[in-house]
Amino acid sequence: MVAIEPSSSAIRIAQELFPKADFPNIEWKLGFAEKELKSFHVDGPVCFVTACVLSHLTDDAVKKICQQINIIAPKGSILGFAECWGPESHNFMWHIRTQSWWQRQFPGWELDFYGPNIQDVAGRHKGFHGVRIKG
């Protein structure tokens, strides 16, 4: 398992929560996902998981991350994204993108939008998953 984080402070906190003695399989990478993902070479399907971090990044940054995932992810790979979707809204550091926006970022993936309602606004949700069906 590889965890990518651009903040050394956040990595330090995460390593305290998930100590190497108990979680030796986590490789911590300090850097930006769109750059770190370029160094990945995989032999089989991969699982990508986010924890609502992309919902706090600009569209351009998220597009770059999605592009890198598309480059390295073979058929059968999985997305488990706790990211926002619904009627588009960009409010300071909270970006809600439409289902079609996410689908455009992941051509060849079958995406399932299922997440719970958020922000007490009808149609705004968090969470979707997908499987790459075309390589």
Each residue of 63-111: pLDDT tens digit? 999 999 999 999 999 999 999 999 999 998 899 999 999 999 999 999 9
3 and 66, same domain (yes or no): no
Examine the domain organization and report whether 18 and 70 are in the same domain.
no
Q: Which two three-digit tokens encode residue 60?
A: 């351009």
Q: What is the pLDDT of residue 48?
A: 97
Q: What is the pLDDT of residue 4?
A: 96
Based on the fold, state whether residues 53 and 27 are members of the same structural domain: no
Q: Is residue 39 part of a domain?
A: no
Alpha-carbon span 94 to 116, nearest angstrom? 16
Does residue 36 lie in a domain region?
Answer: no
pLDDT digits (tens, 9 = 90+) for 7-24: 999 999 999 999 999 999
Domain, as residue range, for 57:
44-132
Neighbours of 103 (CB within 10 A): 16
112 and 77 within one domain:
yes
pLDDT at 84: 95
Percent share of the chain, pLDDT over 70: 100
For residues 39-51, give the mean pLDDT. 94
Res 121 pLDDT > 90: no
Q: Which residues contact 95 (CB under 8 A, 6 or more apart)?
A: 54, 55, 56, 57, 58, 59, 62, 84, 89
Structural domain count, the chain:
2
Same domain, 18 and 59: no
